[in-house]
Structure 1
Amino acid sequence: MKIKKLLNNNAITVMNEQNKEIVIMGKGIAFKKKSGDLVEEEKIEKIFSLDNQQLSDKLKALLSEIPIEHMELSEEIINYAKLHLAKKLHDNIYVSLTDHISFALERHANGLPIKNAMLWEIKRFYKDEFDIGKAALLIIEAKMGVTLPEDEAGYIALHLVNAELNEEMHNIVSITKIMNDILNIVKHHFRLEYDEESLIYYRLITHLKFFAQRLLNDSPAVNQESALFEMIKQQYAEAFTCVEKIRVYIHSIYNRFLTDEEMLYLTIHIERITKEKQKKEIGDT
């Protein structure tokens, strides 16, 4: 293999057999080299091949600016996340998380910590991802000797959610706000406290996450007039009344009309939450 481009002393690009440019990393792999030189294959440590050309270009630009240790650190955290989350992560995580971790380490070195205003919501809605974020802080401490605050675990969690949903970061923030607002509507309507460890709560959170994503992307569920919708509307009247409040909120803030399908599933999930509360109250008496 021949070097196509030098990114820094530890990163180069080459053309693979499919004539696709890939990134190769290794300590000193580009030292005293130039384009066209043969790659010292014994120095190859990591190979990155991203299907999306725009992402690949961003990764190459990033690697030309940051220490190789930051990329290796990010990759270890991503591999840990893939193993423990058992969820598919979009390749954008290699760029977004690496960039964030490198910047976080730079800010820490300069004594410029940043508070995470959404930390409480992240802990509440993205527990699995937040656990990965906390584990990531331990990896960073072990590898770099740097102790970052819990706020950074929250930011790492958001980057993971971003990669799960393949969304822009500002959309993840908006999704989180929508989830929080809807949960508050339900909470105040029924005067209930959520059991955040319950499976039913987890299912509601998962539904709201994808509901909010569809809302922001203007891709609602298919609207189907059905006898089931009318039956649920009558059978779960109080839950449906609560969903009517959610419908008004969505229309007033986002100018979107909820479909019957969306209202149907929201009603079912909210009914399950209220039934769980009633069962708990009966069990406590």
Structure 2
Amino acid sequence: MNMKIKKIFNNNVALTEDLNQTEMVVMGKGLSFQKKVGDEIDTEKIEKTFITPSESFADKLSELFDDIPYDIMALSKDIIDMANRELHTELNDSLYLSLSDHIHFAVTRSKNGLPIKNALMWEVQKFYKAEHRVARKALDMIKVRTGVSLPEDEAASIALHLFNARQDSSGMEETMAMTNIVSSVTSIVKYHYGIAFEEESMNYSRFITHLRYFAYRMLRGELNNDHNDALYKQVKMQYPKAYDCAKKVQAYLNNQYNVEMTKDELAYFMIHIHRVSSREKS
């Protein structure tokens, strides 16, 4: 493949054009070292290509290479390649940006003794088992390549990045349906309690995140089938008003989408509804 350099971002990444005038951002260690615009790229050095990228994407990729060591970018590529195989999918290219940035930040924090907890860790383990299993493998790869053992919370964070990269490829119809579900359920909770949400709060952010993931799984027929009676009864007893609200959500979903929520799903809804309605500070 004949590829000429149109723009050099740094020693490891360049914007190229082939004989069909197809633009690609290519990455590989040292592939543009001592090169200039118009030179041909040694294709054997190419490790990853981003075909017909937007100008903003190319700029973000360039900025990332300026801020993040190449070894981390290469590690992210290997993790994504592994995830594509394990999840039998093709993850969105935007994941190379977000995952590299996250891993670099997480490794740096860990070295400085500043780990960050993931408030959704248990839910990710429970509802996104495939992504979490892959993320656990990613932690092993990170340990081997960087010498840093990241905490289990980071497996949940990486799993969410993987999930979002799958979600990015959703069709417009599905995206609109998800948006409608989030909006409608949020309104049910808002009017049930007669409150205005503190949209900058952590509890609101957690609630919307849970709701988006629920809507995504619901539309794809991937809702959790477990019926954890013990958890359900405990939460129902502890948060009776949240239970009443959750039942309204359940009725809405049943009427509009013919979906029956399991007791597990209802229990987690109650927990998030209670948190967001009580406006607890986190």
- Name the TM tier (shorter chain): 0.5 to 0.7
Match of 1:248 in 2: 248
Match of 2:48 in 1: 47
Structure 1 residues 175 and 113, CA gap change in structure 2 (3 angstroms): same
Deviation at 1:34, TM superposition (A): 2.9
Match of 1:177 in 2: 210
Match of 1:16 in 2: 18
Deviation at 1:88, TM superposition (A): 4.1
Asked if 1:121 is matched to 2:154, the reply is no
Structure 1 residues 258 and 129, CA gap change in structure 2 (3 angstroms): closer
Match of 1:205 in 2: 224
Tell me the SS of whatever aligns to 2:102: helix
Which one-letter code corresponds to 2:165 in the other structure?
Answer: A
Which one-letter code corresponds to 1:17 in the other structure?
Answer: L
Tell me the SS of whatever aligns to 1:81: helix
Residues in 1 aligned to 2:15 and 2:91: alpha-carbon distance in whole angstroms: 24
1:205-260 deviations in whole A, cap 9, x for unaligned? 38xxxxxxxxxxxxxxxxxxxxxxxxxxxxxxxxxxxx995463489xxxxx6573
Kept in 1, the 8 Å contact 2:224–2:262? The answer is no
Structure 1 residues 112 and 245, CA gap change in structure 2 (3 angstroms): closer
Match of 1:279 in 2: none
CA-atom RMSD in angstroms: 3.9
Structure 1 residues 55 and 179, CA gap change in structure 2 (3 angstroms): closer
Tell me the SS of whatever aligns to 2:223: helix
Deviation at 1:29, TM superposition (A): 2.2
Deviation at 1:148, TM superposition (A): 1.2
Q: Could you list the runs of 5+ residues in structure 2 that have no partner in the other structure?
A: 176-201, 216-220, 226-242, 266-282
Q: TM-score, normalised by structure 1?
A: 0.61
Deviation at 1:47, TM superposition (A): 3.2
Tell me the SS of whatever aligns to 2:259: helix
Residues in 2 aligned to 1:86 and 1:172: alpha-carbon distance in whole angstroms: 30
Match of 2:184 in 1: none
Deviation at 1:65, TM superposition (A): 2.7
Match of 2:92 in 1: 90
Kept in 1, the 8 Å contact 2:10–2:62? The answer is no
Residues in 2 aligned to 1:16 and 1:110: alpha-carbon distance in whole angstroms: 44
Which one-letter code corresponds to 2:27 in the other structure?
Answer: M
Structure 1 residues 245 and 88, CA gap change in structure 2 (3 angstroms): farther
Kept in 2, the 8 Å contact 1:158–1:172? The answer is no
Match of 2:158 in 1: 156
Residues in 1 aligned to 2:206 and 2:43: alpha-carbon distance in whole angstroms: 43
Which one-letter code corresponds to 2:130 in the other structure?
Answer: D
Tell me the SS of whatever aligns to 1:87: coil
Match of 2:64 in 1: 62
Tell me the SS of whatever aligns to 2:134: helix
Aligned residues with identical type, % of pairs: 39
| Residue 73 of structure 1, aligned match among 72, 75, 83 | 75
Residues in 2 aligned to 1:174 and 1:164: alpha-carbon distance in whole angstroms: 20
Which one-letter code corresponds to 2:48 in the other structure?
Answer: I
**How many residues are treated as equivalent by the alignment?**
210
- Determine which structure has more spread, i.e. the larger CA radius of gyration: 1
Deviation at 1:152, TM superposition (A): 1.0
Match of 2:181 in 1: none
Deviation at 1:16, TM superposition (A): 2.4
Match of 1:260 in 2: 255
Kept in 2, the 8 Å contact 1:247–1:258? The answer is no
